[in-house]
Amino acid sequence: MAAVSNPPPDPPSDEDLSPGIPVIRIGLLAGEPIRLAGLTTVFEGSPEAGKPQLQPVIGTVDKLLADPELLYMVVDFNSSAEGLKTLEKVKRTRPEIRQIVIGPENDAELVLEAITAGARAYLDSSADPHTVRMAIDIVVSGSIWAPRKLLSRLIDRLLGVPGGGGGGVGALQLTARERQVLDLILLARSNREIAEELGIEERTVKAHVGRLMRKTGAENRIELSIRALSRRSAQAIPDGKEQNKG
């Protein structure tokens, strides 16, 4: 008897979504029906209190890019050999779209390339639906998702590369406080943890992080870490006003 290929379940229609809850459309890009079926389970059930309803949208990359309401996309590297090319195409065509990557484990080089190509989150293939949903919620809120163990592996790898690579923070002047904040970012500390360690307010930490990103041209904390580690010769300059605050 011939095997029957079952298509992935249909995503919820507008009528299925809870009334009164904001709806955010998330593009799903995976080449295998079984992978798509697995990804759609992430969107089942009602969102937690205060979280938006996520509506999956399945289609080709061109179809998803043509959807003006689509501002987020999940790209599954495991079922496509064109993963990085897809990220670059999305970044080039619709740079406002925030991309979430699901890819192989223990591949620091791929993670680096995915971040450079525009990913705002990278999840291991072993991530469960709850973790995927959590990562999507964090990206939707405007933040970056990267498990600390993954970031730690990246930092260890980069620290072992003498001289580093391309652009970084080596040619920049950083204040003493910015240097302290940067050092703690490299240890994967959160803004709250940095604030507690330095004895300053969390909003002050956010301001420092924002200035570091502007100075380095980084789009997120992971890229900031990568650039900082690739050029570790930045020198702190005295800043009396900030030192008095500390």
Quick: pLDDT tens for 187-240.
Answer: 767 888 899 999 999 999 999 999 998 888 877 777 777 777 665 533 334 444
Assess whether pLDDT exceeds 50 at residue 1: no
Q: Taking the CA of residue 116 as centre, how many other CA atoms within 13 Å lie in the half-sphere pointing to its CB?
A: 12
The mean of the pLDDT values for the chain is 75
Backbone phi, psi, residue 204, to 5°: -70, -40
pTM equals 0.58
